[in-house]
Every structure is written in structure tokens, then in C-alpha cells.
Amino acid sequence: MSNRQLPTASAVEMAARQREISISEFFLKNRHLLGFDTPAKALLTAVKEAVDNAIDACEEARIFPEIYVEVRHRHGHIGVVVEDNGPGIVESQIARIFGKLLYGSKFHKLSQSRGQQGMGISAAGMYGQLSVGKPLHILSRVAGDELATELYVSIDTARNRPDIHKKKHVAWDHPHGTRVEMEMEGRPQKGPHSVEVYLKQTAIANPHVTITCRDPQGKRTCYARSIDELPPLPKEIKPHPHGIELGRLIQMLSNTGCHTLLKFLVDEFSSVGNKTASAIIAEAGRRLSNRSYPRHIARSQATALHRAIQNSRIPAPRTDCIVPIGEQQLLKGLHSEIEADFYTVTTRPAAAYRGNPFQVEVGLAYGRPGDFRVYVDESGHMHNKDIHDKSAAVDLIAAKNEPARLLRFANRVPLLYQQSSCAITRAVIQTNWRGYGLNQPKGTLPVAPMAILVHVASVWVPYTSESKEAIEPYPEILKEIKLGLQKCGRELARHLRRNLQLRREYDKRAYIEKYLPHIGIALQEILALGDEERDATVTQLDDTLHKTRAT
Amino acid sequence: MSNRQLPTASAVEMAARQREISISEFFLKNRHLLGFDTPAKALLTAVKEAVDNAIDACEEARIFPEIYVEVRHRHGHIGVVVEDNGPGIVESQIARIFGKLLYGSKFHKLSQSRGQQGMGISAAGMYGQLSVGKPLHILSRVAGDELATELYVSIDTARNRPDIHKKKHVAWDHPHGTRVEMEMEGRPQKGPHSVEVYLKQTAIANPHVTITCRDPQGKRTCYARSIDELPPLPKEIKPHPHGIELGRLIQMLSNTGCHTLLKFLVDEFSSVGNKTASAIIAEAGRRLSNRSYPRHIARSQATALHRAIQNSRIPAPRTDCIVPIGEQQLLKGLHSEIEADFYTVTTRPAAAYRGNPFQVEVGLAYGRPGDFRVYVDESGHMHNKDIHDKSAAVDLIAAKNEPARLLRFANRVPLLYQQSSCAITRAVIQTNWRGYGLNQPKGTLPVAPMAILVHVASVWVPYTSESKEAIEPYPEILKEIKLGLQKCGRELARHLRRNLQLRREYDKRAYIEKYLPHIGIALQEILALGDEERDATVTQLDDTLHKTRAT
């Protein structure tokens, strides 16, 4: 008997233990998913989330972003300040933006932005709260307002709701903008995972942004903007029909305000005009017509409609929802932050994965300055370059016998962790760099004094985790990255061949030059020239030699 | 002027676009985070989530789990049925358990279980809903109830709330249990990511479970339980003080019902008795005493208390919250599902990472049967083995020149994806297998006809993503896995040496045996023996040879 009763008791007991889990509790316990696993990574993630938000806000308000970042030691913890000249935040929204996970303006629309989840900055606050028990300190002023709003906000994790601690209105010397200050357990890093490298890479992909940074030692670095144009504002788009699953289609049909199927297809999707819509409906059959009432469409009809969409030729999605950095701008960014012998960039045409438009850009910076010194001047004379090796400036480029450095970007944001699981890394490894004259051990990155920059811009970047550190390797994305790498690789190969020729030429010429004086002496004897005539002849010969060879 | 007004307008416009994002919407758009990125993976993930829940429920109710899994093609989609003989689910809970993300009984307690997030099965339902528009179909009966409850449930993703479609009470031939049926876009796989391999691995780590599976071709496979004992029920524990962050400590202090600091430390943490608690409080100083009222403790005092905790010697956490598979059981599991020449297993003592107890188990199965055929019988004679190569049974073991197969488990659940980012893989690669007589190219898995099984059990497994496919490589976890691997590696080395000797012996003996008849003939001539005498002598020689050499 007791055996029989046990399961009942269990079912009731187990029911009593069922509880709702708040999203904040979930991510507090799983904070490594958001990039807050170690103090070193947490610091960088916090800076990144705040800077991303700041730049997004400025761009949306069409303001040239000016960002100030400060990291300092404070009572044994780390203090981080990020300040922007953006539009400011309306008072009623401040607490929720900083004190609630999954709250934001970017999740529900299809258009390119740095943030997309509405989690990052609140998560940084939650980490500060967990690690040192301090709330976020916010200051924000909307242009036109006399005073700024100042408040301290933490998260009530059991309810995923903001707790406001103090709120007052204070004078602030910024006409508009937002300032967030966080305290947390953190560890400033040197090298590839440092705030410095993150900001430098941000400057490369965002040449319209000015960033000033003050590090824990009080050293100030400024990355000034190098172009005078804001990137255009990405347009919002509707989903593309080819990316819609059956279940989603059924849901959209039952939620639409449109009164005819034709209007539904035209209004709620991108790339569908009346003609395409009519063709889809005709293809679907099943007694569906242009005037069918969407909400009355049966399951079997929806299934037929879904199949018809998959089988129809529909134009590719519009691409003004994506704003690439642009070849000129990218080149400027590379030039101002990486010193190299050779640069090449390419912006691929837009493509789509699962109905989401995306666009790939690739840049290469090759050769530490000074590695190859020969150059030809205007008169055709060859010289060795005399360049100071600015060691601080070559951080981003690999040494001669190291694997090339990868600079990965998604929607203009540098990706600093999880390199090995990223689509970009995979595409670089799958590219045959030997064909371009580089050394590449099997299954690895090419070994060369080179930085490879890849930028993937999309209305929805498929990150492999909430911490947005790597891109899921969808086949369409891999393909586009590889095409971009190949284009740049060919340019690089041309440069390397030219350099090789130049070097050979230089060696040959040096050889001839070595014997020119002897030829002079021989001529002097044969033709009985004076010393001056001999020298003039040698100079003339030298000159002729350079001019004929220089092309 | 217009430039000045723009930011204001933007701030107001932007505020209007701020919205809450429901957790269901979030994971619907990011469904790859939950393991539903491709139809192949989605099918496996759905089966896994349902089976995990089924076994958890049975164990909690102390019932020997009997699970039935069915996968079939249905209207161009895939239908999945998972049925258990568990305690059933109380009617009022069914809809929320299957139709709400982040709802469950396992998140808030510290004890080992397969599920820990309250997301998996609802996510599977959400995927079915998205991909083919079908709700989950649930049948559940609590023992003692006359009828079972049947209902269809989908998720209202905008609100993360269950939508119940039909509910009725029906007769069901199971006295108690739960049956969930899902329809989805899916693709049954062969090989390492197949439902079959997942179930086989589940059987290895859960020898107390019986699983019957019906595949899309109608073939039934049964993995019968091989032991007659249920694993003990893991105990729930309190957090260990060494894993508590300052912010959490402050929060716990202000939420506690305890009236003295001493009682707070003893009651709310594991491994803290009166003596340890007093020592911590004395170490903290700052006018804190055993009788301080926890809610009145100031920030600076809490900081001192936190530091004192870190500096105090506190016993390791209790380990009855973890239930390893056990060496005997693991060996049984390996024997019944993997056919090999040699098996060895080890269960490490429990350890802790960030205050969370965990325990590692390692098993090796080496040699496809038939790869090494020599054995010695009781009379000391050597023979070649005559074993049928059951090709179906060797699925889990690598071929001779392939990298060893890794069987990764967390809380008795097989991990089938993201092998390269898993702590287990890293530990195997970092182990020096050459020292145990195996071939191991630098930085890779050992190359051998071998399966390496590693099980990590913990009250909180730090998965690298919500889809629970890999374990975060915390140093403490890596270390324990490596110690386990080394123990098994030494056993393997011993076996290989013994085998090598046996093989040499066999070769030598075969050589001698080849010449025995000739020796017989020679003796016959020398000693003038009859043919019968000669043969008897040869037999005697042969016998002596075997007996003296057999040890």
C-alpha cells in the first residue's frame, strides 16, 4: 500500500515546490552567460555595455558621439564611469532602463543597433550589486531641461524591478547627456582583453566617435574622430517572408489588423508588392484568394500558404536597414589606429540569412612598419625607409612568426572573447592563405605580421550567447566573410609580389652600384677621361640605371 | 536652434519606444541559445528535455523510471512522444510547467538534479509552436486519481503565460505517470547526435532506468535497467560561505529572520557550526559580536565580515547533496552498453568550486573486441579469441586510428554538442596520454580504440549556455577531472603492458610450436622411438611448455 501512496504524496509535494523564477535571479545565478564570470571579464563587459548604449543613443539623436570612460580603483573595488553627450533619458524611463533586465527599445524592431536585448547595462548593475553591494549611480539631462536627474538604482532581483534609492535634480555642466557610474569587483587587464584595446578597436570601426579614456593610473588617452560625417540612420524593416516559420505565420495571420490576405502580405512583410503577393496566393491554392480574411484562414490553408512562400521567388530584403562602416571610413579607421605597410578593405554587397539582411566588411593591415624598408622615391631612386617603430601603436598587429591578429566586429562593436567559436574565426581558418603567399599551418590562422578585420552588420546578429562575444556560424554568413577575405587576400598577394620584385630589384641594383666605380675607372683608362669626367659619367650611368628600371 | 532641439525630441521619442521584453519573446528570437537552432538539433534537445524531466520526477518519487520514447514522421513534421511512470503532475500545475519559461521546482534549491532552470520542456513546446504551430499535448495521472488530465498547452509568448486549449479528464491505462507529445520541424539523425546514441549514453549513466524507444522506422530498442537499486535522493544544502559575494551577503543579512549574527551564520550556511561562526565574527572585528542583529549591520561591517569569511578556515561543504553514479554501477553501465576488451572506472572524492560541491567520475573502455585476440585458458593454453564483432554495439568506441570517443555527462545527462568548449574535453587534452602508452598528437585527444567517459555531478553545474551542452572550465573542475583521468590512465597502462607481454609470449610460443614436430622427429631418430612414442613426447613437451610459461 505504502508503495502505491508514495507517488501521490510526491506529486502533491512536488507541486508545492514549483515556483516562478525571475529573469534576474536566473541571470544572477548564471552571470557567466552575460559575460560577468571573472572580475577581469566583468570589468570589460560593463564598460562595453555602457559605451555601446552611449554611442547608440547619440547616433539615434544624430549627435557626434563624445564618450568619456574612466576606470579607477576605489575602496578595494573598481569604479567605472561612462559619460556621453547623447540626448539624455527621460526621467520616467531611467530606473527601468538601468534596473530591469529585458527592457529596451531595440529588441522589437528589425534594424541595426549595437544593443539588441535590453539586458547589458542592467546586468552590469546587477553584477555590481552582487559583487560589492553598490547600486548604479546615474546622472542624465535632456536638452532644454534646466537640471539633470540624479538617482541610484539597483535591481529587485526576485521581481526583476528597479529599486530607486535617491532621486534628486542637480546642476550638471553638460547641456544634455547621460553619465553612469558603477562599482564592482573587477581587475583591469593588459593586452588583448584590456579596456584600452577595446576602445582602440571601437575607434577603428567608429571613426565618427571621439573617446577619451582615463585609466587607473590616471593616464588619459584620446581617440579623436577622423571623419566629419555621421553614419546614416539604419531604417527599420519588416521581416522577409523567407525567414518566417509556419507557426509564426499562423500567429501573424491571427493577430493582423489587415482585412485581406493581399494587404497582409504586402503590409507585414518586406520585399512583397501586390504582384508578388498575388503570385504567392495563387500558388497556395486551397480556395485562398487575395480577398481572404486573414483571421479566418484555417491551419491547412496556412500550411499551403507557407509552402507557397517558400517556393516563390521573392526579391532579396531591402538593405538600407544596414549601415556598413564603408570602405573609405574603414580605411581611415585602420590608418589612424594601426601602423602598417599595406592596407586593403572591402565592403561586400548585402545578403540575408533566414530572412535577416546582413553585410560583411573585411580589412587587412599587413607588415609592421620597418619590416620591409625598401621604397622608390619620385626620382626613381631606391631607399631604405627610416621609420621609428612606435611600439605602442603596433599592439593590434601580429609579430612576424605569430598567427595574424583577428579584429572581430558585429554592428561596429568589437568582440573580444570566445574567438574560437566565432563564424569569423572559422571563415579565416577555412580561407586558403597560402594561395596569397602566406604561411598557414593546417586548420589554423595564417602566420603573418597582419591584422585581419571583419565586420558583420545585421538587423539581428545571431550571437552564440547573451554576452555577445561570438557569431553563430550560419552558412550564409560564413560564405560572405570568405568572399570578403578572398578579395582582400588577392590584393595582399599583389602587394607581396610587388614587394618581392622590389626587393630583388634593390639587391640587383645594389650589386651593380657596387661595381659602378670600377666601371668608371675602366672607362677612364679606355677613354682617357679626367677624374671629373669619370665621376660625371658614373653619376650619369647611375641615374640612367635608376630611371630605366623605375616603373 | 534645430540642432539644439533635436536631442530633446529624440529623448522623448526614444522613451516612447522603450518596452518590456518577455522572456519567451527573448528566447523565441534566440532559440539557438536553448538548443533549437536546426531541425536536427531541435529534435534531440526536445527528447532530452522531456526525458530529463521524466527521470527526475520518478527518482524524486522513488520509482524505478520506465521511460518510453517515440519519434515518428507526421504530416511532413516530426512527432515526439515521451511517457513516464512517474508520480504525475497535479492538475493545477500542468499548464505552467509546460507553458511558461522559468518556472520549476529545481532552480531555487541547491541539490543535484538533471533540470535546473525550468525552461527546457516549455522551450521545446515553444519551438513546436513556432515551427509548425502546434501546442503540446499532455496527459498526466496522479496515483489514486480515477482519470488522467489531458490538455493542450501553448505559450502566450508576449506574456510568458500558458494558453490552455482543451482540457478534459480521460481514462488512461497507466496508474500514474505523464505523457507529453510534441510536433515540430525536426530531422532524425544518425550517428553521434542521434536520439539512439543519446538514449544509449543515458542508459550507461543511469543503470537503474529502463528506456524503450521506437524510431521513425518502427524499430523498437530497449535499454533495460541493470541494477536493482535506486540512487539515493540527493539532500538539499545551504550555500557554502566561501562562495558568497559581498553583495549577496549584504542582501542575506537584510533578509534573514535570524535575530543574532551567530545564528545567521550557522543557519543560513552549510559547514558553519557555533565554533566556526564565533571565530569568523571575532576575526571580523568592527564591533561585531555573536549577538549583533543581522539587519542592523552596516555596510562597512558587512565588508569586514565578508573578508573574515574569506580568511577563515571553514570545513568543505557536505557532499550528500551529490549522488555520483558509483564505480560498480558505472562499470555495469559500461559493460552493458559498450563492448570492449578492458574497462576501468574511478569515482573521485567530492570537491567544491565557488562554494558549490561537485564530484567527478571517470571511466575508460579500451579495445574493440577482436582487436586483441590472444587469451590464456585455465589449463594455461593460449588461444585466439573468437568474438563476433557486433557492429551495432561498438558505436560508442573509436576505431584504432581515430581520436578516442568522449562521453560527457553532467548530473547523469549526456552532453552531445559543443564538445570543444567543454571543461571535460579540455581536461582530456591536457592529460598526457603518451605516459600511458597511447598516441596523442599535440593539443588533441589521444588516438586509440577507446571511449572516455567523464561525469560531473554538482548541485549547480556551470553550463556554458542555456542549452546545457558544455561545462564552463573552472580550474577546480578541470583539476578533479584530470586526477580522475590519470587514475584510469594508470590502470590502462598496466593493461596495455600486460597485453603486450602476452602478445610477445604468444609469438614466441607459436615459433617454438612450429618446430616441435621437427624436434619430435629428431628425438625419434636419436632415441629410436616408435611413432606413438614420438607423438606422446611431442604432446608432453607442448604441455610442459604451456604450463611453465603460464603465470
Q: Cβ(B250)–Cβ(B106) under 8 Å? A: no
- The Cα B371–Cα B393 span in angstroms is 15
Domain ranges, ordered by start, for chain B: 23-223, 241-311, 327-498, 500-549
Is B55 in the A-facing interface, judged by CB distances under 8 Å? no
Q: How far apart are the first and last CA of chain B?
A: 101
pLDDT band at B281 (very low <50, low <70, confident <90, very high): very high
How does pLDDT run across B10-20, given as a tens digit for each residue?
Answer: 788 878 888 88
Nearest CA in chain A to B7: A87
**Within 13 Å, how many C-alpha atoms sit on residue B95's CB side?**
16
Question: What single DSSP character describes residue B270?
Answer: S
pLDDT band at B420 (very low <50, low <70, confident <90, very high): confident
* B37-58 average pLDDT score: 93
Nearest CA in chain B to A1: B144
Please identify, in words, the CATH class of the domain defined by A23-223.
alpha beta
**CB-CB neighbors (< 8 A) of A90 in chain B:** 11-12, 14-15
Joined together, the cell numbers standing for residue A263 give: 494587404
Q: Which residues contact A209 (CB under 8 A, 6 or more apart)?
A: A55, A64, A65, A66, A67, A202, A203, A223, A225
Q: What is the pLDDT of residue B74?
A: 86
Interface test with A, best of B2, B21, B56 (most A CBs within 10 A): B21
Select from A347, A355, A352, A366 the least CA-distant residue to A409.
Answer: A347
Give the pairing of strands A161-170 and B103-104.
unpaired
Burial A357-386 (b: 16+ CB within 10 A, else e): bbbbbbbbbbbbbbbbeeebeeeeebeeee
- The Cα A225–Cα A58 span in angstroms is 14
* B369-385 average pLDDT score: 61
Q: Cβ(B113)–Cβ(B15) under 8 Å? A: no
Q: What is the pLDDT of residue B551?
A: 45
- The Cα A92–Cα B291 span in angstroms is 43
Q: CB-based burial of residue B275 (10 Å sphere; 0-12 exposed, 13-18 middle, 19+ buried)?
A: exposed
The fold for domain A241-311 equals Helicase, Ruva Protein; domain 3 (1.10.8)
Select from B76, B375, B326, B34 the least CA-distant residue to B205.
Answer: B326
B residues 285..324 contacting A (CB < 8 A)? 299, 302
Instruction: Verify whether the Cβ–Cβ distance B20 to A100 is below 8 Å.
Output: yes
Q: Is the pLDDT of residue B365 over 90?
A: yes
Joined together, the cell numbers standing for residue B102 give: 522559468
**CB-CB neighbors (< 8 A) of B420 in chain A:** 420-421
Interface test with B, best of A90, A103, A117, A422 (most B CBs within 10 A): A90
Is A165 in the B-facing interface, judged by CB distances under 8 Å? no
Instruction: Verify whether the Cβ–Cβ distance B21 to A104 is below 8 Å.
Output: yes
Is A98 in the B-facing interface, judged by CB distances under 8 Å? no
Select from B539, B543, B549, B535 the least CA-distant residue to B507.
Answer: B549
The Cβ of residue B392 has, within 10 Å, a number of other Cβ atoms equal to 9
Instruction: Verify whether the Cβ–Cβ distance A245 to B185 is below 8 Å.
Output: yes
A residues 168..227 contacting B (CB < 8 A)? 175-176, 185
The alpha carbon of residue B517 is apart from the nearest alpha carbon of chain A, in Å, by: 56
Instruction: Verify whether the Cβ–Cβ distance A11 to B62 is below 8 Å.
Output: no
Instruction: Verify whether the Cβ–Cβ distance A134 to B247 is below 8 Å.
Output: yes
Q: CB-based burial of residue A515 (10 Å sphere; 0-12 exposed, 13-18 middle, 19+ buried)?
A: exposed
The alpha carbon of residue B327 is apart from the nearest alpha carbon of chain A, in Å, by: 29
| A327-492 has CATH 3.30.230.10 classification | yes
Which residue in B11, B133, B463 is closest to A87 by CB distance?
Answer: B11
- The Cα A180–Cα A368 span in angstroms is 38
Instruction: Verify whether the Cβ–Cβ distance A22 to B142 is below 8 Å.
Output: no
Amino acid identity at A458: S
Q: Is the pLDDT of residue B190 over 90?
A: no
- The Cα A260–Cα A288 span in angstroms is 11
Total residues belonging to chain A: 551
Interface test with A, best of B5, B13, B18 (most A CBs within 10 A): B18
Instruction: Verify whether the Cβ–Cβ distance B133 to A246 is below 8 Å.
Output: yes
**CB-CB neighbors (< 8 A) of B251 in chain A:** 133
Q: Cβ(A51)–Cβ(A69) under 8 Å? A: yes
DSSP helix/strand/coil, A255: helix
**Within 13 Å, how many C-alpha atoms sit on residue B500's CB side?**
8
Separation of CA B406 from chain center = 12
Question: What single DSSP character describes residue A463?
Answer: B
Q: What tens-digit pLDDT sequence spans chain A (551 residues)?
A: 334 345 666 788 878 888 888 888 888 888 888 889 889 999 999 999 999 999 999 998 999 999 999 999 988 899 999 999 999 999 999 999 998 888 888 877 778 888 887 888 999 999 999 888 899 999 999 988 999 999 999 998 888 899 998 899 999 999 999 999 999 999 998 888 899 999 999 999 999 999 999 999 999 999 999 889 899 888 888 888 988 888 889 888 988 899 999 999 999 998 899 999 999 999 998 888 898 999 998 888 998 999 999 899 988 887 788 889 999 999 988 988 888 889 999 999 988 888 788 999 999 999 876 555 566 666 666 665 554 444 444 467 888 788 999 999 999 999 998 888 899 999 999 999 999 999 988 888 999 999 999 999 999 898 988 889 999 988 999 999 999 999 999 999 999 988 888 777 777 777 667 776 777 777 677 777 788 877 887 777 777 766 655 54
Residue A450 main-chain phi, psi, to 5 deg: -150, 150
B residues 391..420 contacting A (CB < 8 A)? 420
Strands (E), B142-234: 148-156, 161-170, 177-184, 210-214, 220-223
The alpha carbon of residue A383 is apart from the nearest alpha carbon of chain B, in Å, by: 45
**CB-CB neighbors (< 8 A) of A462 in chain B:** 32
Select from B95, B91, B182 the least CA-distant residue to B141.
Answer: B91
Instruction: Verify whether the Cβ–Cβ distance A14 to B57 is below 8 Å.
Output: yes
Q: What is the pLDDT of residue A86?
A: 92
Amino acid identity at B158: A
Amino acid identity at A319: T
Interface test with B, best of A2, A10, A97 (most B CBs within 10 A): A10
DSSP helix/strand/coil, A334: helix
pLDDT band at B378 (very low <50, low <70, confident <90, very high): low
- The Cα B514–Cα B519 span in angstroms is 10
pLDDT band at B333 (very low <50, low <70, confident <90, very high): confident
* B108-137 average pLDDT score: 87
Nearest CA in chain A to B76: A303
Interface test with A, best of B92, B108, B246, B426 (most A CBs within 10 A): B246
A residues 59..78 contacting B (CB < 8 A)? 60-63
Which residue in A142, A299, A466 is closest to B11 by CB distance?
Answer: A142
Q: What is the dihedral of CA A206, A212, A215, A220, to 10 degrees?
A: 130
DSSP characters for B78-91?
EEEEEEE-S----H
DSSP helix/strand/coil, B405: strand
Alpha helices in A348-474 (DSSP H): 423-430
Joined together, the cell numbers standing for residue A162 give: 528597479
- The Cα A98–Cα A110 span in angstroms is 23
* B96-118 average pLDDT score: 84
The alpha carbon of residue A177 is apart from the nearest alpha carbon of chain B, in Å, by: 9
| B327-498 has CATH 3.30.1660.40 classification | no
* B204-216 average pLDDT score: 94
Structure ipTM: 0.80
Quick one: CA dihedral B262, B266, B268, B271, positive or negative?
Answer: positive
Is B117 in the A-facing interface, judged by CB distances under 8 Å? yes
Which residue in B61, B92, B299 is closest to A10 by CB distance?
Answer: B61
The Cβ of residue A289 has, within 10 Å, a number of other Cβ atoms equal to 12
Q: What is the dihedral of CA B526, B528, B529, B530, to 10 degrees?
A: 140
- The Cα B206–Cα A53 span in angstroms is 48
- The Cα A44–Cα A123 span in angstroms is 13
Separation of CA B159 from chain center = 33
A residues 445..504 contacting B (CB < 8 A)? 460, 462-466, 472
For chain A, the farthest-separated pair of C-alpha atoms sits apart, in whole angstroms, at: 130
Which residue in B103, B142, B460 is closest to A21 by CB distance?
Answer: B103
**CB-CB neighbors (< 8 A) of B92 in chain A:** 15
Burial A463-483 (b: 16+ CB within 10 A, else e): bbbbbbbbbbbbeebbebbbb
Q: Is the pLDDT of residue B506 over 90?
A: no
Helix (H) or strand (E) holding A497: helix A475-527
Q: What is the pLDDT of residue A442?
A: 80
- The Cα A539–Cα A529 span in angstroms is 14
Q: CB-based burial of residue A343 (10 Å sphere; 0-12 exposed, 13-18 middle, 19+ buried)?
A: buried
The Cβ of residue A501 has, within 10 Å, a number of other Cβ atoms equal to 11
| Least confident stretch, B358-372, B401-415, B424-438 | B358-372
DSSP characters for A141-183?
E-TT-SSEEEEEEEEETTTTEEEEEEEEEE--SSSSEEEEEEE
Is B158 in the A-facing interface, judged by CB distances under 8 Å? no
- The Cα A418–Cα A464 span in angstroms is 9
CA angle A411, A416, A422 (to 5 degrees): 75
DSSP helix/strand/coil, B229: coil
The size of the A-B interface in CB pairs under 8 A is 225
Q: Cβ(B234)–Cβ(B323) under 8 Å? A: yes
The Cβ of residue B383 has, within 10 Å, a number of other Cβ atoms equal to 11
**CB-CB neighbors (< 8 A) of A110 in chain B:** none
Q: Cβ(B51)–Cβ(B206) under 8 Å? A: no
Give the pairing of strands B66-74 and B210-214.
parallel
Q: What is the pLDDT of residue B209?
A: 95
Instruction: Verify whether the Cβ–Cβ distance B89 to A33 is below 8 Å.
Output: no
Which residue in B26, B105, B466 is closest to A14 by CB distance?
Answer: B105
Instruction: Verify whether the Cβ–Cβ distance A22 to B102 is below 8 Å.
Output: yes
Q: Which residues contact A76 (CB under 8 A, 6 or more apart)?
A: none
Is B159 in the A-facing interface, judged by CB distances under 8 Å? no
**CB-CB neighbors (< 8 A) of B1 in chain A:** none
Q: How far is CA A193 from CA A38, A201, A220, A300, B253, in A?
A: 12, 11, 19, 53, 35
Q: Cβ(A148)–Cβ(A139) under 8 Å? A: yes
Is B382 in the A-facing interface, judged by CB distances under 8 Å? no
Q: What is the pLDDT of residue A263?
A: 93
Residue A512 main-chain phi, psi, to 5 deg: -60, -45
